[in-house]
Amino acid sequence: MDIFKSGARIWRHFDWRLFLTALALSLWSLLVLAAVSSPGQFKRQLLSLGLGLAVFFLATALDYRQFKRFAEILFGAAVFLLLVVLNTGHTAYGAQRWLNLGLFSFQPTELLKLALIFLLAKFLEQKQGRLDTLLDVLPGFALVGLPFFLIFKQPDLGSAIVLAVIFLVMSFWGGMRLSRLLMLASPLLSILALHVLPVDPLLAWGVYLVLLLFCLWRLRFPLLDSGVYFALNFCSGLFSSFFWNSLSLYQRNRILSFINPDIDPLARGVRYHMTKAVIAVGSGGLWGKGWLQGALTNLRYIPQQHTDFIFSVIGEEFGFIGTALSVLLLFYLLRRIYQIALKIPTDFGRYIAIGVLALLSFQSVINVCMNIGLAPVVGLPLPFISYGGTALVMSWLGLGLVQSAAMHRQTLEL
């Protein structure tokens, strides 16, 4: 096959530090999961890791540019799978996220994140850094809008926000002005102003809209653009109840109680998870209670401790040493991706790397912060560490794409 033509020569550029850091995180995850997952889950995670490594090396060996022309198809397929899962999917934790394929179940959302990165990279490359007018931006905005809406309806708030973050970060990197970026994100603020702030909603919204107008005037947007941004904000405000209410009650309450703890002062209801996670982390101390020795962990006191709250298990059983090590490993991995990204010669490849970086870093930060009481509980896994096969395989695939982009430097002979 011609895609292997470049042969062994490219492997000189293989980044061992990236690979070994990710591998270390994966193995670390298995050690922690051994304490909290059932034997069946552990076996599945082991299989997923094997699959992830295979996918990683395959993606590394192949020239990522070969697949550029499939970006739209891949994205379309991911959206289609998402639609299927919305209608038939199997439900867990109140949201439809899994597609049951008999032998294993599969989370289309995770695939969609990578597909979006791939397609956005292609789109931004075509734009060549020209993202100065509304017309330049809108196709990308529409691209992220549809899956955002679908995932939001699942309702999977965390993943929907991840899509938005990927879009904003990649666009920023692709040359969009910060002010326009903020304006694109502003409809979300409109919703927050009406529903989340602990003050009179209409007053908050009014103040917010006035502020928005002021910003639009100060930032000297063209009149048409200003009109569109204001209209977007106004409409999202008008339909905010629809968006807000499509979240399930517990999700809304988690956000509300994070901003206003008085809603649940005894932490018996909606703040339950987070408070218990913080207690588990804090009780770990410097050295932790020891592997398999965490009292709260063994009592399964924190629900979902193998997925969203696995960091609290690390905190309790391995203490500050364990958490700091995990955080530093993750930081090192992300920093490595970033450094590689800067050296990638093609725009397309660099955008992919930045997208993967945005995906992994946002999930890492939010998940860790969720576990230590710095972010509301929105349900995002910790990359490479949380239990979850699709996410693990997709994370490895993302790394594979980054590696491939770093290694395949010569001009493609098409």
Partner 1 sequence: MTKPPRAPHLPARYTAGLGLLLLAVVLGRLFYLQIIQHSYYDFLADGVRSRIIPSIAPRGVIYDRYGLALAESKLVYGLDVLPYQLKNQRFVLEFLRQIGINTRTLEARLRDKNYLPYELLAVKADLTPRQISYIEENKALLDGVIISTRIVRYYPYANEAAHVLGYVGQIGSAELNKLKNYGYQVGDIVGQAGIERYYDAYLRGVDGGRALEVDALNNPVSGLRALEPVPGHDVYLTIDLALQRQAARALGARKGAIVILQPDTGEVLAMVSKPDYNPNYFTNYLSAAEWQELVTQDHPMYNRALSSYPPGSIFKVATMLAALESRIDTARSFICGGSMVVNRRRFDCWRAGGHGAQNLLTGFINSCNIVFYNLGLLLTPQKLANTAAAFGLGLSTDIDLPFESSGFVPTERWKQRRYNEDWYPGDSLNMAIGQGYLLTTPLQMAALTASLANARNRLCRPYLLQKIVSREGKLIVQNKPEQAGVLPFEQKNIDLVRDLLRETVDRGTGVNARVPGLVIRGKTGTAENLKKDHAWFISYGPYDRPDLAMAVFVEEGGFGGTVAAGIARDIYVWYDARSREAQK
The nearest distance, CB 275 to partner 1, in angstroms, is 9
In whole angstroms, the minimum distance from the beta carbon of 82 to partner 1 comes to: 29
Cβ 296 to partner 1 shortest distance, Å: 6
Residue 388: CB minimum distance to partner 1, A: 18
Cβ at position 411, least distance to partner 1 in Å: 6
In sequence order, which residues have a C-beta less than 8 Å from that of residue 166 and are 6 or more positions away?
113, 116, 117, 120, 144, 355, 358, 359, 362
Of the candidates 359, 375, 340, the residue with the CA atom closest to the CA atom of residue 21: 340
Query: Whose Cβ is closer to partner 1: residue 18's or residue 85's?
Result: 18
Residue placing its CB nearer to partner 1 in the complex, 164 or 334: 334
- Cβ closest to partner 1, residue 87 vs residue 411: 411
Amino acid making up residue 287: W
| Nearer Cβ to partner 1 (182/372) | 372
Least distance between partner 1 and beta carbon 409 (Å): 8
172/244 with CB nearer partner 1? 172
Written as one letter, the residue type at 165 is V
- Would you say 134 or 405 has its CB closer to partner 1? 405
Q: Which residues bind partner 1 (CB under 8 A)?
A: 38, 172-173, 175, 178, 278-286, 295-296, 298-301, 315, 319-320, 323-324, 327-328, 331, 334-335, 338, 342-347, 361, 365, 368-369, 372-374, 411-412
- Please identify, using beta-carbon distances, which residue of 319 and 379 lies nearer to partner 1: 319
Least distance to partner 1 from the beta carbon of 350, Å? 8
- Identify which of residues 55 and 270 has a Cβ nearer to partner 1 in the complex: 270
User: Smallest gap, in angstroms, from Cβ of residue 133 to partner 1?
Assistant: 19
